[in-house]
């Protein structure tokens, strides 16, 4: 199928050579049974490529099952993927099929595959190598014929070094790699996408179409778009509805764009965060850092009535690795009164307990407030032995 026909069929907009290359690889590999790993930042549209692979393959008349691995709690993910027998665990009142059984003969898309627990990764590796799996609570080996397409926005080699992802599974999944470009890698498509999203929303709500003057166009192209296409769509729709100017001025566009700037997190100089945005670890450190400042201000107020201790210097570690002697680090001047143990482990537990208390024990709401996945908060609750009782 021609490139333009594929774009029209799947609603893909853009003419970037990098985007065209990714689509071409997906189309070429569709006729094989090789596993595919789709890489790219959050919001770039990775979900289109498993559909291209499936719909252009001989499996197109069988099931296509898409799973967000980060949204399934660790305690139930094996059952969701591979099924379970009646009585396999407390709530297993009857046997059920898993997604790999449901997708037999078709394609299964594992989004956020790096979120899978290591134990589940071993089960997935067996399916990829032999096509065999065991239901939870069963000793009977079952076979499945499934094409696996996985996607992630994290650096898997880094996860392997940290012991969070199996190296053998990575090479099994990575038979074919599709790298989906970020929006800043395809600047020629930004205005095209903006016009498309704006036109769609103006037609839906019968609003005059939005146009850009030259200065507004320069502002649009100079913004880094960290949220990629998802962010561009939201902002273009918002501006089309709210702003009355036609054509849109640079000032009006600037009002709707988030203020960009560098983070105040203490990290190793020259070692910025990965392109996908802040990791869960960085988010937790950010909250801890704000808590530390609040505690400092409170104790400084109290210390006005007593002799002040001499200041000391505290080095907060990088999110990625401990600093080598030759690496520069930011040094934060903090009073000695901050003797609380703000280690990552205890800090994580405190944050999770507070979030659970605020949300009446609701793990989903607590995870959303902390900016982490539900599976991660489930794992942390078990790890720290946090009680959910009132």
CATH of the domain at 192: 1.10.8.60
In a domain, 273, yes or no: no
Q: Are residues 151 and 13 in the same domain?
A: yes
Q: Are residues 200 and 167 in the same domain?
A: no
Q: Give the per-residue pLDDT at 328.
A: 37
- Kindly tell me the burial class for residue 328, based on how many C-beta atoms sit within 10 Å of its own C-beta (0-12, 13-18, 19 or more): exposed
Query: What is the pLDDT confidence band of residue 227, given thresholds at 50, 70 and 90?
Result: very high
In a domain, 275, yes or no: no
Angle at 377 between CA 390 and CA 372, to 5 degrees: 130
Q: Which among 146, 181, 216 is the end of a domain? A: 181
Q: Are residues 7 and 93 in the same domain?
A: yes
In a domain, 327, yes or no: yes
Contact, 273 vs 282, CB < 8 A?
yes
In a domain, 269, yes or no: no
In a domain, 159, yes or no: yes
Which has the minimum average pLDDT: 52-61, 95-104, 345-354?
A: 345-354
Q: Are residues 88 and 189 in the same domain?
A: no
Q: Are residues 37 and 132 in the same domain?
A: yes
In a domain, 252, yes or no: yes
Q: Are residues 152 and 39 in the same domain?
A: yes
Backbone conformation region of residue 79, classed left if phi is above 0, alpha if psi is from -120 to 50, else beta: alpha
What is the rounded distance in angstroms from the CA atom of residue 69 to the CA atom of residue 74?
9
Q: Give the per-residue pLDDT at 209.
A: 86
Contact, 246 vs 342, CB < 8 A?
no
Q: Are residues 175 and 35 in the same domain?
A: yes
Q: Give the per-residue pLDDT at 291.
A: 64
Summary mean pLDDT of the chain: 82
Q: Which among 181, 216, 236 is the end of a domain? A: 181
Q: How many domains does the chain have?
A: 3
Q: Are residues 202 and 317 in the same domain?
A: no
Place of tokens 């009646």: 86
Does the reported pTM lie above 0.75? no
Place of tokens 């099931």: 63
Query: What is the pLDDT confidence band of residue 268, given thresholds at 50, 70 and 90?
Result: very low
C-alpha to C-alpha distances, 108 to 57, 257, 268, 332, nearest whole angstrom = 13, 37, 39, 48
Q: Are residues 169 and 129 in the same domain?
A: yes
What is the rounded distance in angstroms from the CA atom of residue 45 to the CA atom of residue 111?
12
Q: Are residues 51 and 96 in the same domain?
A: yes
Range of the domain at 325: 280-303+313-384
Q: Are residues 67 and 162 in the same domain?
A: yes
In a domain, 95, yes or no: yes
Q: Are residues 166 and 240 in the same domain?
A: no
In a domain, 36, yes or no: yes
Q: What is the mean pLDDT of residues 136-151?
A: 95
- Does pLDDT of 270 surpass 50? no
Q: Which among 154, 181, 208 is the end of a domain? A: 181
């Amino acid at each position: 199928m021609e490139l333009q026909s594929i774009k029209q069929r799947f609603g893909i907009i853009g003419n970037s050579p990098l985007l065209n290359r990714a689509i071409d690889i997906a189309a070429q590999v569709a006729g094989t049974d090789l596993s595919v790993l789709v890489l790219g930042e959050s919001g770039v549209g990775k979900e289109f490529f498993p559909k291209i692979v499936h719909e252009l393959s001989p499996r197109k008349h069988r099931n296509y099952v898409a799973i967000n691995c980060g949204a399934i709690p660790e305690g139930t993910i094996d059952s969701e993927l591979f099924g379970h027998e009646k009585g396999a665990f407390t709530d297993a009142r009857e046997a059920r099929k898993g997604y790999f059984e449901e997708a037999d003969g078709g394609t299964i898309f594992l989004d956020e595959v790096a979120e899978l627990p290591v134990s589940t990764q071993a089960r997935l590796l067996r399916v990829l190598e032999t096509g065999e799996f065991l239901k939870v609570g069963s000793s009977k080996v079952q076979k499945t014929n499934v094409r696996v397409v996985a996607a992630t926005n994290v650096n898997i080699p880094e996860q392997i070094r940290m012991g969070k992802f199996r190296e053998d599974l990575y090479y099994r999944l990575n038979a074919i790699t599709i790298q989906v470009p970020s929006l800043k890698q395809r600047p020629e498509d930004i205005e095209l996408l903006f016009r498309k999203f704006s036109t769609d929303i103006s037609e839906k709500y019968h609003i005059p179409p939005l146009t850009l003057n030259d200065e507004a166009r320069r502002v649009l192209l100079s913004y880094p778009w960290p949220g990629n296409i998802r962010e561009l769509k939201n902002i273009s729709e918002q501006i089309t509805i709210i702003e009355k100017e036609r054509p849109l001025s640079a000032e009006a566009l600037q009002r709707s764009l988030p203020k960009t700037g560098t983070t105040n997190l203490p990290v190793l100089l020259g070692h910025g965060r990965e392109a996908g945005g802040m990791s869960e670890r960085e988010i937790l450190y950010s909250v801890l850092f704000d808590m530390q400042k609040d505690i400092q201000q409170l104790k400084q107020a109290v210390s006005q009535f007593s002799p002040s201790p001499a200041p000391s210097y505290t080095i907060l570690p990088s999110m990625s690795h401990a600093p080598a002697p030759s690496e520069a680090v930011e040094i934060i001047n903090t009073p000695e009164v901050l003797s609380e143990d703000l280690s990552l482990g205890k800090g994580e537990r405190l944050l999770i307990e507070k979030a659970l208390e605020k949300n009446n024990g609701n793990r989903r709401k607590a995870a959303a407030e902390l900016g982490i996945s539900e599976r991660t908060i489930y794992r942390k609750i078990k790890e720290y032995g946090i009680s959910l009782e009132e």
